[in-house]
Structures are given as structure tokens and as C-alpha cells.
């Protein structure tokens, strides 16, 4: 029996000696590699914070002290220490969330896994403690150097420094990376702190060992001392933070339990805002992760634990098609530039950055800045392509509205992982984009259904120079090609069932089913089932879904029912827009919209979430037949 079997709560952890905790740290790393390799999850970040998390729980007192993990994907060790030991269904329905979850434990505070928010949460909780006269607890916020590139973090720091009566401890987990290497002035500053710390270690060694070496040793010592002095003349290690009024401790070795506990106790005793700068190594203790330079182990699927190689090779996916097409566009269009927010590799911009390094801009975790900077680039004669996860465009809505659309800037937003992503839970589902974007004046949104429509819509999007365009597509593998059987009024017709080559005016009512993007395969299957029940059915798949085109109105005119299917929120989504447009133009056709309810979704596989919302071939068919039956009964009643 190892120490991990003895730790069911932070209290159990406090009973162990420091040597025992060090052994526990290795057990936890072994457990994480073994369990996450079976389920998939965020492996690298958690391996890097083992000692840090253990030291936090040994010094502070969760849940009395509030622990807040920025982004939260590094909370696996915290889950183990607080009694959550079953990782067998991690990130699966009814299993543990991959992020903090209030439903799981009182030790979890913030569930939102969007970055750069922890310090604002911490400031709010600490302020409330002061207002309520509570002075026997701390707020401890863990934020990575990558998350510190986000503007919210600096807004919070500015406010945290406003007064010194809040018991608030900020732990900067500095590993030089977010998903990718941290960029910008902050990264250079933290690198200076790390370098200064290395010089101090070398000087300490020199003081002990160089005098006996004679003049050459003394010259080396003098040289190192001069280099250190030069660095300190550029920037004092604590400068940025203490000048704000926040006490700075560090840099601290994030894998030395003794140093960590000592620093945390000093911070605990200070009585005001303290920033503890901790240097860690992402993927610590797992050789494949330590040797990987592309952050492949930040988040993994199922892998072979011995090698780190995937159990099943990744299938050709949407992101890869975008990566290929944007490079082709870049070769023919020198004005096309690419921006992303700390997601260069995940969104598929790495090949573009290698071929066009001077035309690629990673702005850090700063989606708002990316959108407005893109507007500036468009004004100056470029066509920016801003590639983000769909869920993160939520953070830049005001900039899309007021900086890009208001100024009719030719900016293309490419939204990866749109719709339901599933495993990472509520804050990572990209299900809000269509409802948000449809209210932006002048915007055009494409929802491609396959490889060819993704390539064509991207090529078309970058030709638009008088307003924003959006191209959105889902996570994962790409399905088979879905060619149109006909293009009518500019709209792709994918299938017809229950009719001959020409639509008949007689017989059963004609049903038009409109598939939005990647929902097309399901809609085709559902349409066949509706046709078997005796109805004439046609499946349309407009690539450009916002605004609703006149061509789509002509295609649905004269039908008895229009059914729209999308993988975004149904309230205010594309289906609702089609219904409003049909009504406003006097087309006179009832529209039934299907999509995701306006609720936060628990983590589960995409297929399970679709099933819960009736977005399966059978569910879509049943809903369509139910509407037809209701309309028929209503007509008979009249």
C-alpha cells in the first residue's frame, strides 16, 4: 500500500512527513500517467504541478481557504488530494470532470475553464471576506504564465493592488508555456527572473568553489557578477509586481517541497496580497512529455503509457484541411495574415507560421486584442484570418461587434471546435457562436459540411473586404464528401426522397429539411426515415447560413414544413433566423427548429449530448413526423 491510498483528504496529507510527501508525489505521477493514458485528458499540466498542489494543501486549509485554479485543467492532483480517486471515467458522462466541479466537491470553486479569470474571482472573494469581517481565511489563486498574457489578469492585478487588507495569495505557475510557449513582454520579463535566479545560483557556487582556482576562477566570478548586475539594472526581479503594491516572493523551485512550503507559509503570514513566483516543468517526471517540444502532451487522447504514442492514429480532420488550405491561400495572397490566441498548433496555423513567419501573430491568451488588432490590420491593407476555438470567440464579442463590424473591416474568423465538443464540459462547447454572430450587422457566416465546402468557403471568405466573415466547423475527424445532387437558386440540394426527379405538387406534403454544417449526414438519414412514412422530403445544405439568402427562401417557398437542424443553441440560432426571415418575407411556411437547448452541458461524449437533445437520425425524424401529425390534426380540426 502506497501513501496515495492513505490520503483521502488534505488533513491526511498534513500528517505525512516531507520525505513521505516526496514519495507520494512520485506515486501521483505514476497514477496520472497510468490513468490518463486510458481515458485521455490534460496530462502535461498536471504532471507539472504535483509538488505545488501538495504544498498548497499542506500549508493552507481548503475548503475554508478558497483554492482557485485558472483554467482548471491542472486540477487533477487537487482532485486526488480531496478524495476523488476514481479516474476510470475521467471526462466521460457520469465520471469526473476534467476541470474543477462544484457538483463533485466543496473544495472546487470555479468551474469556468476559460483562462485569465482566476485573479478576478480571487479579488471578488477576498473583497467579500473583508466586507463580511472574515479575517481567518485566505484566497489562493493559481495562474500560469500563459494565462497572465490575458487582459483580465492585469485588470485584476490592478485592483488587487488597490489595498493591502485582503488575505490573497497569487501563485504564478511559470513553466514558460500555455498550450504553446508563452509570448510577449511578460514572457521576456519572467524569463529575466528565471535567468537572474540562475545567475544567483551560479554565484553561490562560485563563492564556495572559485577562490581556490586562482585568477581564472576569480575572473569567471567577476564576469558572472557583472552579468547579474546588468540584468538587475534592466529589471528588478520583483519590479513589476511590487511597484503595483503586491508583495513578491520568488522565484521558487516548483518541484522542491521544502522551498514551496516555506514560501507559502511566508505568504500566509503576510496579511495582504502576495505573489509567489513558482517555476515548474510541464510534463515533469514523464520522459515522453519532458522530451516533447510541441506540447503534444498538454492534452492527450488514449496513449500507450510507455511511449506516449496514441493508441489509435488520428483521422484526417477539419483542422488539417484548414491548415492546408490557408497555406495555399497564403501563397497566392501576400496580404493574408494569420492571428491566434496562444493556439498556434491546435487551430492548425503551425504550417502557415513556418512558411510565413512574418505574417503570423500569436497574441497570447488575448482574444479581444486579436480581434481589434485584426481590424487595425484590415484598415492598413491586410486581410487578417483570426483562428480560434469557437468557445473563445465569446470573449471577444464586443470587439467583433464594435471594432470589426462597425468599421466594416475585412476580417475572417475561423472557428475550430464549433458546436458540441463534449468531453471538456460546459465552457468548452462551441455552441454559442451562431446565436451570437447572427445579431452582428453585416456579418457573413459559413458552416461547411465537408472538405470541399470548407476549402471553398475559406477561399470565398478572404475575398470579402467590407465586413467580417466567419467560417466554423466541428472538432474531430471529417466525414465522407457530401456532393450536391443539384444546385437550385444557389443552394446545395443534397438529397430527395419520396419523389421522382421533379418535385410533385400532389400527394403527401413536401418537407424541406435544412442541415447546418456538419449536421448534414444525420439530416440525410433522418430524411429517409421521414420519407418511409409517406412524405416527400428534400434536404438542403446552404454553406453560407448567415444571413439567410434569397435563394434559400425560394427553395422553401411552397413547401408544407421546413425543419432546420443545427449543433448550436436553438434559441436565437440559424433556425430561428430562418423562421424570422421566412415570416418577414411573407413566404408563409411553418418552420420547426432543432438544436441545443439554452443550458450548460455537463461533460459527455458528443454522441451522448446529441442523443440527449434528440439530434440523432431517429430523433430528428420522430420530431419531424410529430410536427407533421400535429399540423395535420390541427387542419382536420379546423
Q: Does 520 appear as a known binding residue?
A: no
What CA–CA distance (Å, rounded) separates 476 from 114? 21
pLDDT tens across 521-580, in order? 999 999 999 999 999 999 999 999 999 999 999 999 999 999 999 999 999 999 999 999
Q: Does 115 appear as a known binding residue?
A: yes
How crowded is residue 218: how many other Cβ atoms within 10 Å of its Cβ?
A: 13
Q: Which of 197-201, 352-356, 530-534 has the highest mean pLDDT?
A: 352-356
C-alpha cell at 317: 480532420
What CA–CA distance (Å, rounded) separates 495 from 539? 5
Q: Does 113 appear as a known binding residue?
A: yes
C-alpha cell at 534: 409517406
pLDDT tens across 576-625, in order? 999 999 999 999 899 999 999 988 888 878 888 888 899 999 999 999 99
Asked if 333 is an active-site residue, the reply is no
Q: Does 145 appear as a known binding residue?
A: yes
Banded model confidence at residue 2, pLDDT cuts 50, 70, 90: confident
Q: Using DSSP bridges, classify how beta strands 412-416 and 360-362 pair: parallel, antiparallel or unpaired.
A: unpaired
pLDDT tens across 360-385, in order? 999 998 999 999 999 999 999 999 99
Banded model confidence at residue 203, pLDDT cuts 50, 70, 90: very low
Give me the residues paired with residue 544 across strands. Answer: 446
Encode burial over 619-634: b for 16+ CB neighbours within 10 A, e otherwise: bbbebbbebbeeeeee
Among residues 58, 296, 395, 472, the one annotated as catalytic is 395
Q: Does 114 appear as a known binding residue?
A: yes
- Four-point Cα dihedral 247, 252, 255, 261, nearest 10: -50
**CA proximity to 280, closest of 13, 24, 25:** 25
Q: Does 147 appear as a known binding residue?
A: yes
Q: Does 261 appear as a known binding residue?
A: no
Furthest CA-CA distance within the chain: 108
- DSSP letter, residue 600: P
Among residues 367, 451, 538, 566, the one annotated as catalytic is 367
pLDDT tens across 18-46, in order? 999 999 999 999 999 888 888 888 888 88
pLDDT of res. 95: 86
Q: Which CATH number does the domain 488-637 belong to among 3.40.50.920, 3.90.1200.10, 3.40.50.300, 1.10.760.10?
A: 3.40.50.920
C-alpha cell at 42: 490534460
**CA proximity to 475, closest of 293, 634, 301:** 301
Q: Does 407 appear as a known binding residue?
A: no
Banded model confidence at residue 341, pLDDT cuts 50, 70, 90: very high
Q: Which CATH number does the domain 318-472 belong to among 3.40.50.970, 3.30.70.3270, 1.10.3720.10, 3.40.50.1000?
A: 3.40.50.970
C-alpha cell at 253: 523551485
Q: Does 605 appear as a known binding residue?
A: no
**CA proximity to 168, closest of 197, 211, 137, 196:** 137
C-alpha cell at 108: 472546487
pLDDT tens across 479-521, in order? 999 999 999 999 999 999 986 544 444 556 799 999 999 999 9
Residue 196 vs residues 134, 263, 282, 464, 635: alpha-carbon distances, Å: 38, 18, 21, 49, 81
pLDDT tens across 428-457, in order? 888 899 999 999 999 999 999 999 999 999
pLDDT tens across 222-253, in order? 555 554 444 333 344 456 677 777 899 989 99
Average pLDDT over residues 95-99: 85
CATH H superfamily, domain 51-78+100-282: Thiamin diphosphate (ThDP)-binding fold, Pyr/PP domains (3.40.50.970)
What CA–CA distance (Å, rounded) separates 239 from 242? 6
Asked if 571 is an active-site residue, the reply is no
- Three-state secondary structure readout of 267-322: HHHHCCCEEEEEECCCCCCCHHHHHCCCCCCCCECCECCCCCCECCCCCCEHHHHH
Backbone torsions φ then ψ of 210, nearest 5 degrees: -75, -30
The per-residue pLDDT of the chain, averaged, comes to: 86
Asked if 566 is an active-site residue, the reply is no
C-alpha cell at 232: 538587475
Among residues 84, 127, 177, 282, the one annotated as catalytic is 282
| Least confident window among 34-48, 307-321, 349-363 | 307-321
What CA–CA distance (Å, rounded) separates 5 from 85? 9
pLDDT of res. 190: 60
| Least confident window among 119-123, 305-309, 470-474 | 305-309
- DSSP letter, residue 476: S
133: alpha, beta or left? (left if phi > 0; alpha if psi -120 to 50): left
40: alpha, beta or left? (left if phi > 0; alpha if psi -120 to 50): left
pLDDT of res. 501: 41
- Three-state secondary structure readout of 536-583: EEEEECCCEEECCCHHHHHHHCCCCEEEEEEEEECCCCHHHHHHHHHH
Tell me whether domains 51-78+100-282 and 488-637 share a fold: yes
Q: What share of the chain is helix, strand, coil (3-state, %, to 5)?
A: 45, 15, 40
Domain coordinates of the chain in residue numbers?
A: 51-78+100-282, 318-472, 488-637
Amino acid at each position: 500500500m502506497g501513501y496515495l491510498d492513505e490520503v483521502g483528504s488534505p488533513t491526511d496529507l498534513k500528517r505525512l512527513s516531507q520525505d513521505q510527501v516526496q514519495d507520494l508525489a512520485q506515486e501521483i505521477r505514476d497514477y496520472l500517467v497510468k490513468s490518463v493514458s486510458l481515458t485521455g485528458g490534460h496530462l502535461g499540466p498536471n504532471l507539472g504541478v504535483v509538488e505545488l498542489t501538495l504544498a498548497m494543501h499542506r500549508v493552507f486549509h481548503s475548503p475554508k481557504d478558497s483554492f482557485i485554479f485558472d483554467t482548471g485543467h491542472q486540477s487533477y492532483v487537487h482532485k486526488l488530494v480531496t478524495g476523488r480517486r476514481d479516474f476510470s471515467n475521467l471526462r466521460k458522462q457520469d465520471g469526473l470532470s476534467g476541470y474543477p466541479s462544484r457538483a463533485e466537491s466543496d473544495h472546487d470553486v470555479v468551474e469556468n475553464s476559460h483562462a485569465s479569470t482566476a485573479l478576478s474571482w480571487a479579488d471578488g472573494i477576498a473583497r467579500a471576506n473583508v466586507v463580511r469581517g472574515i479575517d481567518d481565511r485566505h484566497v489562493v489563486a493559481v495562474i500560469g504564465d500563459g494565462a497572465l498574457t490575458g487582459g483580465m489578469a492585469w485588470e485584476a492585478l490592478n485592483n488587487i493592488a488597490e489595498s493591502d487588507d485582503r488575505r490573497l495569495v497569487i501563485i504564478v505557475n511559470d513553466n514558460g508555456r500555455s498550450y504553446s510557449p508563452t509570448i510577449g513582454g511578460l514572457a521576456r520579463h519572467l524569463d529575466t527572473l528565471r535567468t537572474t535566479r540562475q545567475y544567483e545560483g551560479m554565484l553561490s557556487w562560485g563563492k564556495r568553489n572559485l577562490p581556490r582556482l586562482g585568477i581564472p576562477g576569480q575572473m569567471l566570478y567577476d564576469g558572472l557578477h557583472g552579468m547579474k548586475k546588468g540584468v538587475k539594472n534592466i529589471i528588478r526581479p520583483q519590479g513589476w509586481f511590487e511597484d503595483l503594491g503586491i508583495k513578491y516572493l520568488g522565484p521558487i523551485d516548483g518541484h522542491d517541497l521544502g522551498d514551496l512550503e516555506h514560501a507559502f507559509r511566508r505568504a500566509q503570514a503576510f496579511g495582504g496580497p502576495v505573489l509567489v513566483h513558482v517555476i515548474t516543468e510541464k510534463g515533469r517526471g514523464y520522459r515522453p512529455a519532458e522530451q516533447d517540444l510541441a506540447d503534444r502532451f498538454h492534452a492527450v487522447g488514449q496513449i500507450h503509457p510507455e511511449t506516449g504514442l496514441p493508441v489509435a492514429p488520428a483521422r484526417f480532420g477539419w483542422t488539417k484541411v484548414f491548415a492546408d488550405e490557408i497555406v495555399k491561400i497564403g501563397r497566392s495572397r501576400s496580404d493574408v495574415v494569420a492571428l491566434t490566441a496562444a493556439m498556434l498548433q491546435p487551430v492548425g496555423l503551425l504550417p502557415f507560421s513556418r512558411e510565413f513567419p512574418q505574417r503570423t501573430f500569436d497574441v497570447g491568451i488575448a482574444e479581444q486584442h486579436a480581434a481589434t488588432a485584426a481590424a487595425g490590420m484590415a484598415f492598413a491593407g491586410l486581410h487578417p484570418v483570426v483562428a480560434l476555438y469557437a468557445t473563445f470567440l465569446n470573449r471577444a464579442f464586443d470587439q467583433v461587434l464594435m471594432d470589426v463590424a462597425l468599421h466594416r473591416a475585412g476580417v475572417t474568423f475561423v472557428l475550430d471546435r464549433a458546436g458540441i465538443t463534449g468531453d471538456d464540459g460546459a465552457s468548452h462547447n462551441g455552441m454559442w457562436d451562431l446565436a451570437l454572430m447572427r445579431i452582428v450587422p453585416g456579418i457573413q457566416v459559413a458552416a461547411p459540411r465537408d472538405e470541399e465546402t470548407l476549402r471553398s468557403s475559406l477561399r470565398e471568405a478572404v475575398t470579402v473586404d467590407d465586413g467580417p466573415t466567419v467560417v466554423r466547423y466541428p472538432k474531430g475527424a471529417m466525414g465522407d464528401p457530401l456532393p450536391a445532387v443539384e444546385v437550385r437558386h444557389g443552394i446545395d440540394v443534397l438529397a430527395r426522397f419520396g419523389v421522382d426527379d421533379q418535385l410533385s405538387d400532389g400527394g403527401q406534403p413536401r418537407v424541406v429539411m435544412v442541415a447546418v454544417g456538419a449536421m448534414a449526414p444525420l439530416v440525410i438519414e433522418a430524411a429517409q426515415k421521414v420519407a418511409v412514412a409517406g412524405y416527400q422530403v428534400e434536404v438542403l445544405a446552404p454553406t453560407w447560413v448567415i444571413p439567410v439568402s434569397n435563394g434559400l427562401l425560394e427553395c422553401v417557398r411552397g413547401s408544407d414544413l421546413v425543419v432546420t437542424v443545427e449543433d448550436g443553441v436553438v434559441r436565437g440560432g440559424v433556425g430561428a433566423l430562418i423562421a424570422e426571415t421566412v415570416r418577414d418575407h411573407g413566404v408563409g411556411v411553418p418552420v420547426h427548429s432543432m438544436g441545443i437547448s439554452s443550458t450548460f452541458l455537463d461533460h459527455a461524449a458528443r454522441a451522448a449530448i446529441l442523443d440527449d437533445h434528440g439530434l440523432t437520425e431517429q430523433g430528428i425524424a420522430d420530431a419531424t413526423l410529430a410536427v407533421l401529425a400535429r399540423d395535420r390534426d390541427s387542419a382536420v380540426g379546423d
